[in-house]
Structure 1
């Protein structure tokens, strides 16, 4: 698996699920404007993954033509609970580097599970992606988008209902059917 293949598979997933099924009503504009950066790292060490995350935040800070970055982790944190540990470290890094309030992270993993949902819940697919990923979002842009969107608090509820309507088979086919909760 090359990093280019991982980027292509992830962008295909963005196009089919995130944009195609409207899980993020703000993504199409940025994708159409070529302002979504997708970059893959082959690192397995959390310290090196965090360095890649820091590099991407610094790039975003200095490149206003890039709205958001998808940091795709091709080899590391395959276990979901190891991924959650990485997410905790990543959020600490955001604070340590004084990026809290500038960026926030959205989290995606092939085995994503919400703590308050049964293991076989279709709702997990709203955050399941082809690879573990850290999505760096500009806080200011998100706040502006949410101000103009009616009832943004309903987005997660709508996404869960829509995922249930689509069904697990839809997502399993798109994600390569590796899902352990079939």
Structure 2
């Protein structure tokens, strides 16, 4: 496995967050915590799934022990694991079990992003998959209370996925290459 430099990985994820997630408004709730420096990008150096599970648990505890005003959310980036999307997708079941086992259901949820992300029922090259494509496998740890709070004041949150699909489908090939240089 190649050895990634944390700074380089951090910069690529930050660029993706700012240009794609916020820039395309795929998550209308990300701009404010990003502006307020409340988003942590945690680069995992784990090379096996057990170590990563422990690190994710530690990041959940950190969220528990840090006021939301200081830390809203965490992106756990895994440059050394899950090159294969199917393996990544299966690991999400393990994270759901961790949330359940540790009593975090209803407190945290995990959003998923991967360089080869594709939704069930789509073809890998379908434009709508771009909404969850990232430069590295990412597990986004989200505070459910924060989501509930912002969703109360957001018109038509159910329409977000459709608007996101429409937005990425309308990108020109040049825009796709610029925003998603990590796609094969």
TM range (shorter): over 0.9
Matched, 1:148 2:153: yes
Alpha-carbon distance between aligned partners in 2 of 1:42 and 1:131, rounded to the nearest angstrom: 13
> Paired residue for 1:130?
135
Matched, 1:100 2:108: no
- What is the deviation of 1:168? 5.0
| Kept after mapping to 2: 8 A contact 1:44/1:77 | no
Query: TM-score, normalising length from structure 2?
Result: 0.93
Alpha-carbon distance between aligned partners in 1 of 2:149 and 2:121, rounded to the nearest angstrom: 30
Q: How many residues align?
A: 179
- What is the deviation of 1:116? 1.7
> Paired residue for 1:85?
90
* Aligned partner of 2:144 among 139, 148, 152: 139
Q: Give the aligned CA root-mean-square deviation in angstroms.
A: 1.1
Change (3 A) 1:141 1:174: same
Alpha-carbon distance between aligned partners in 1 of 2:133 and 2:87, rounded to the nearest angstrom: 15
Q: Please list every run of 5 or more consecutive structure 2 residues that lacks an aligned counterpart in the other structure.
A: none
* Aligned partner of 1:30 among 24, 29, 33: 33
Matched, 1:7 2:10: yes
| Kept after mapping to 2: 8 A contact 1:122/1:168 | no
- What is the deviation of 1:119? 2.4
Q: Please list every run of 5 or more consecutive structure 1 residues that lacks an aligned counterpart in the other structure.
A: none
- What is the deviation of 1:118? 2.1
